[in-house]
C-alpha cells in the first residue's frame, strides 16, 4: 500500500496552529539548537573542557574514506525530516521529538560538563580530496562539545522511527541499520569523536526512545507479551 502525501495546499504561517500543520512548529527546535551550538562552540574555551579518550581510540586507525559516511549523515538527517514532513506528520513528530531530546540533553552536558577530544592527526598521512574535505570539517567544527555524539544520537532517532514504519520494507531497514553503524564508526575513524562519545550517545538514544515511544509503542507490547506468557502458564 502506498503512503499518501500530506496536503500542504493553503498553508500559511497564520495557520500553523491548525491540527494538520501544527507538527511544523517542532522545526523551531533547530533555532534553539543553533543558538546553543554557537554558545558551546565559541564561548567555552578548550582549556575548561574535559578530555575524552579511552584506549579503544588508539586502536581505531585514522581513515579518511570514512569522511564519506560522516558527511552523508547530513543528507540522512535532512532527507529523513523532509520525507516525513511530506509523508507522515505523526512520524515526523516522533523523529523531531527524538532529535530535540538529544539536542537539549547534549547541549546541557556540553555547557555544564564541557568536553574536548585531542585525537585529530597533526598532519594527514595522505593528501587527497577526502582529506581536503576533512580539513574543511576540522576548520568548521571545533573538537569541543563532543560527548555525547549528536552524529550518533540523531542517527539512532532516524533508525528508531524508520524501523517502526510499516511502509518501509525490511530490506531498507536493514540497509539503514548498516548505515547507522557505519556512521557511528566513521565518527571515530575520522577522529571527530572518542569511543566514549559514542557510548554516551547510545545511552542518550535509549533515554529519547523511552520518552518518545515508551508509553505508545513499548508499553503495549510488553503488556501483550506478559499477557501471552500468563495465558501459557
Does any domain span residue 17? no
Q: At 172, which helix (H) or strand (E)?
A: helix 170-189
Mean pLDDT value of segment 36-58 = 93
pTM exceeds 0.85 for this model: yes
Looking at the domain assignment, is residue 1 inside a domain?
Answer: no
pLDDT value, residue 233: 63
All three cell numbers of 136: 574543511
Residue pLDDT, tens place only, 195-231: 999 999 999 999 999 999 999 999 888 887 777 776 6
Band of the pLDDT at 190, cuts 50, 70, 90? very high
Is 42 inside any structural domain?
no
The phi and psi torsions of 115 (rounded to 5 degrees) equal: -130, 160
Averaged over 107-129, what is the pLDDT?
Answer: 96
Locate 86 and state its grid cell: 511530506
In a domain, 199, yes or no: yes
- pLDDT (mean) for 102-109: 97
> Containing domain of residue 98, as a range?
64-214
pLDDT at site 2: 67
Of the ranges 8-22, 77-91, 99-113, 184-198, which one carries the lowest mean pLDDT score? 8-22
Is residue 49 within 8 A of residue 116, CB to CB? The reply is yes
**Is 181's pLDDT higher than 70?**
yes
How many independent structural domains does the chain possess? Answer: 1
Mean pLDDT calculated for residue range 184-195: 98
Distance CA(163)–CA(174), nearest Å, equals 9
Model pLDDT, residue 221: 85
Q: Is residue 22 part of a domain?
A: no
Do the domain assignments include residue 230? no
**162, part of any domain:** yes
144 falls within a domain:
yes
pLDDT over 60 (residue 1): no
The residue ranges of DSSP E strands in 21-145, in sequence order, are 50-51, 115-116
Amino acid at each position: 500500500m502506498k503512503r499518501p502525501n500530506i496536503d500542504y495546499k493553503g498553508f500559511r504561517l497564520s495557520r500553523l496552529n491548525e491540527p494538520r500543520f501544527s507538527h511544523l512548529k517542532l522545526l523551531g527546535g533547530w533555532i534553539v539548537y543553533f543558538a546553543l551550538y554557537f554558545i558551546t562552540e565559541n564561548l567555552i574555551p578548550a582549556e575548561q573542557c574535559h578530555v575524552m579518550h579511552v584506549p579503544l581510540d588508539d586502536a581505531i586507525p585514522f581513515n579518511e574514506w570514512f569522511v564519506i559516511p560522516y558527511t552523508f549523515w547530513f543528507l540522512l538527517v535532512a532527507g529523513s525530516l523532509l520525507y516525513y514532513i511530506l509523508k507522515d506528520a505523526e512520524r515526523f513528530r516522533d523523529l523531531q521529538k527524538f532529535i530535540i531530546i538529544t539536542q537539549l540533553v547534549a547541549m546541557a552536558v556540553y555547557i555544564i560538563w564541557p568536553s574536548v577530544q585531542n585525537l585529530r592527526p597533526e598532519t594527514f598521512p595522505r593528501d587527497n580530496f577526502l582529506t581536503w574535505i576533512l580539513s574543511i570539517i576540522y576548520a568548521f567544527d571545533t573538537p569541543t562539545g563532543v560527548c555525547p555524539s549528536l552524529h550518533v544520537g540523531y542517527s539512532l532517532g532516524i533508525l528508531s522511527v524508520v524501523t517502526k514504519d510499516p511502509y518501509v520494507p525490511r530490506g531498507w531497514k536493514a540497509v539503514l541499520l548498516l548505515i547507522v553503524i557505519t556512521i557511528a564508526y566513521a565518527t571515530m575513524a575520522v577522529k571527530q569523536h572518542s569511543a566514549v562519545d559514542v557510548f554516551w550517545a547510545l545511552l542518550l538514544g535509549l533515554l529519547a526512545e523511552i520518552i518518545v515511544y515508551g508509553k505508545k509503542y513499548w508499553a503495549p507490547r510488553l503488556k501483550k507479551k506478559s499477557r501471552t506468557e500468563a495465558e501459557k502458564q
